[in-house]
Every structure is written in structure tokens, then in C-alpha cells.
Amino acid sequence: MSSISTVIPHFVGGTRVEGTSERFSDVFDPSTGQVQAQVALASKAEVDAAIADAAKAQPAWAARNPQKRARVLNRFVGLINEHMQELAELLSSEHGKTVPDAKGDIQRGLEVAEFATGVPHLLKGEFSDAAGTGIDVFSMRQPLGVVAGITPFNFPAMIPLWKLAPAIACGNAFILKPSERDPSVPLRLAELALEAGLPAGILNVVNGDKEAVDAILDSETIKAVGFVGSTPIAQYIYERAAQTGKRAQCFGGAKNHAIVMPDADMDDVVDALIGAGYGSAGERCMAISVVVPVGQETADRLVAALKPRVEALKISSPTDPDADYGPLVTADAKKRVENYIQIGIDEGATAVVDGRQGRVAGEDGGFYVAGTLFDHVTRDMRIYGEEIFGPVLSVSRVDTLDEAIALPSEHDYGNGVAIFTRDGHTAREFARRVDTGMVGVNVPIPVPIAYHTFGGWKKSGFGDLNQHGPDSIRFYTRTKTVTQRWPKPASDSDSTAGGASFVIPTMD
């Protein structure tokens, strides 16, 4: 048994369930570096029990009409809003985000839950009257059954809500395996869903590591799985899910570029890059990590403007109302980022600001790294090619728009990209030609609104369907097509009943 007094349990069948595996993982306070709790790690048997509970509850939930399911979601949204401060402080305490940033995390998830309340309309099928003689054809969208989500540490509210809200709205039961690094908010969300009227078993939360993940992937009951995390694990989950016939949408790493044209408003660009590059300590899959100024004069002006702003960043406790960002999530994350800073220096990049030497106002022992700014970063460097996931911004200089388009287009990752310009033709040309899944024009973090779809290309995404928007409804349902004909009764004098036909039916 764990020696830590606080042990975060699972949530199965509408109640907190203590773990029985006798395996635990530490949950840190990133601002101090101290262990604040432990989380129980589920065994395969515990995951299987949660899946069985969900499978038992799902048919009755699917039988409810979509309007009644939407009303539960509406109440769920209301309860999350009522508990916003509580949830944000809880999220901040385990992840290290500032409280305002934590509220943003929750709000972006809420927007998808609000979208999912429109499920009565979103589930409507198609109908063709008189497609053939006396024949009508119509389709209906039906839930898959039990589905699962495996979600990351960096958005412990947003990503779970992105996945569970559409899935539940469509009539599925949902197994959530959140990150073991910050598991308390997902647990609390499950409790609020139950309070909103969601039947027990429709949302089960199992904490765990690879053993729990593999139990989900190997289960024949689970029909679909969604994942957000690193690219190697995204590919692993996608391939293993296919072996058991599951649908999968798996989103991996990123290296998001921001192209700065010579005509861009430099003050606006610097504001955008400071927020998009260093917000949440860079632990965002949509963070800007490479800025590409077009022209040497543009690059010189940009670096000169960025340097004092990076040096002036206030890195402090996530509860500090004046903090620009807080600590990284774990000691390993801090070590990883600092190692990449040294790699960049060793590779020959110019360390305009070295975050290892920066001033941090946080408590001793916290997982803090100040902002780092590199210049003259080339595409053969590891700090350009690999995802650092920290407060590190690299400047890669080019001379032409074509070169600027080539950098993100030829990168292994293809999540998002942004361009800053005052020229509409340049922006349109860039948006059409660049090879990434999401594009921002004078928008540094182009995360679409909830009723559009979110997803990257290349090694940033595996699967045909993306997150939220109409794609989420398609992913969590399957289409049944009905072709019907109602012949006249045999007693009718106009009946045209004939003999058997051995020719394939057509609609002539």
C-alpha cells in the first residue's frame, strides 16, 4: 500500500474505486518538486471490469433519444461552469499551468461539449424518396457501443472533453484513461457528469500506464480509441488498435512554424510569438516552436524585438497572478528541455537567450525553465527536427516565401502553421500550398473553433477522421442504410406481384 496519504482512485460504475493492483505513480506539485499524491495504476483485470461495466450500461443509454442525451450534456456544461475555479486550481496544482491558462484549458473543452449538445441535429441521416419504383432509401447513424480515450498530461480537461462529450452524446459508453501525471481533473469531470444525470457506467475513468493502455487496445468490446500524445506512441496505438479491428484517431507530436513576412506588423508578431511560444511553458501541441522570418532584415528586426521580451518573461508559481507561465510538469520534462538547449548550442545555433540561466521567481525545487531563444537554426539540427515541448523558440532564417513554405511542408510533423502578413494574396497562396493540417493567418495558434475539425497531417496524425466538429460524430457512430419497399397487399386488385428475379436489383 502507498505511504502517501492521498491516493487518487479510479471511477467506475458511478463511484470512486480504490485500486487493487498495489501499483502507484507519484503525482507532483510542479511548483515545489514535491510529491503531493499518488495515483492507483490499473491492472488489466481492473480495466476489463470497467469495460464490462460500461458495456452493461451502454444499451439503455443508446436507447434514450438524442434530445434527452443532449439535456444531460447541457447540465454537465452548466456544472463545469459552476465549478470552473475549483477545476482550474486543481488542474494548476498538478500540471503547473497558471490558473488563467487552466481556465482556458477547461473552456476549450467546454466548447466541444456545447457543440455536442446539438447531437439531435448532427445525427440526422439522409433520405431519398422514390429512389426506385416504390422504393425509398434512408440512412441512420448509430453508436458503436463502448469506446475509449487515452489522453495526455498537457490538457487534462480539454482533450478528455473533446473525446468524451461527442462519444457520449452519440449514445456510446466511454472509457477514459487520462495521464497519470495529472489525473484529478478527469476524475472530477466524471463526478460532475454523474451529478448532471449521466447514468453510472457511461463514463468510467481508469488510471494507469502501458498495462492499462494495452488492455484497452486488446479488448474486443471497445470499438474505437482516440489518443493524443507523442508520435511514437500514437503510431503504436494506431497499429495495435487495427489488429483488433478498432477505429483509431491518434494525434502525435508537432513542430509548428510561424512565417513572418517583411510587411508584417512587428509589434503584433512579437506579442503573438511570446504568447504562442512560451505560454504554458511551451507544453502545447499547437505551440509555436519555429519562427521563420523572410529576409535577413526581417530576421534582424524580429530577433532584436524578441530578445528583451523573452528576458522579461515572469516565470513563477502558477498561483501568482502576474506569472506569464509556471513550471514544467515533471523533473524529467525539465531535464529534457535543458538537454535540448545544450544540444542546440552544441549544434551551432546562436543562444540569444539561454533559459537555463534565466531568472525564475518560483519556489526552490520546482520544475522551472526560463524562456530560451535560438537564432540561426537550420533544418539539419535536432532542435529543429524534434519536438522539445518546452519554452524554447527557434529562429530559422530564409530569403523567400517559397523557402518559407518548404520548411513546414517538408518537416516530418504537420500539425499547424501560421503566417503573419498584410498581403491577402501572399496569405492565400501560403494557405493553399503549405502541407500541414491547420493554418493560421495572423493567428499564432490556429486551433479551430469547436464546430470545425482539429487534426494534423503526416506524423502529427494517424487515422482518417479528426477531433471535434462533424468528424467526431462520424468517428463515434456507424452508418446503417435501409432500402425499403412496401408492396401493395396481395388482396389488392392492382397488385403486381411477380415471380423470382435472378438479376441484380437496379433502380431503373
Residues marked as catalytic: 285
Check if the beta carbon of residue 288 is closer than 8 Å to that of residue 256.
yes
Cell numbers at 192, concatenated:
460532475
Residue 262's alpha-carbon distances to 400, 422, 426, in angstroms, are 10, 9, 11
Q: What is the residue whose three cell numbers read 491547420?
A: 438
Cβ neighbors of 368 (< 8 A, separation 6 or more) are 315, 326, 327, 328, 334, 360, 362
Q: What is the residue whose three cell numbers read 449538445?
A: 117
Query: Using CA atoms, how far apart are residues 222 and 211, in angstroms rounded to an integer?
Result: 16
Q: How many Å is the Cα radius of gyration of the chain?
A: 25
Cell numbers at 39, concatenated:
495515483
Query: Using CA atoms, how far apart are residues 156 and 178, in angstroms rounded to an integer?
Result: 7
Q: Which of 116, 122, 118, 123 shows the shortest CA–CA distance to 193? A: 116
Query: Using CA atoms, how far apart are residues 87 and 362, in angstroms rounded to an integer?
Result: 22
Cell numbers at 201, concatenated:
457506467
Query: Using CA atoms, how far apart are residues 252 and 466, in angstroms rounded to an integer?
Result: 12
Query: Using CA atoms, how far apart are residues 333 and 121, in angstroms rounded to an integer?
Result: 43
Q: Can you spell out the DSSP letters for 257-297?
A: EEEE-TTS-HHHHHHHHHHHHHGGGG--TT-EEEEEEBSHH
Amino acid at 50: A
Query: Using CA atoms, how far apart are residues 203 and 244, in angstroms rounded to an integer?
Result: 22
Query: Using CA atoms, how far apart are residues 272 and 443, in angstroms rounded to an integer?
Result: 8
C-alpha neighbours within 13 Å on the C-beta side of residue 382: 12
Query: Using CA atoms, how far apart are residues 401 and 24, in angstroms rounded to an integer?
Result: 51
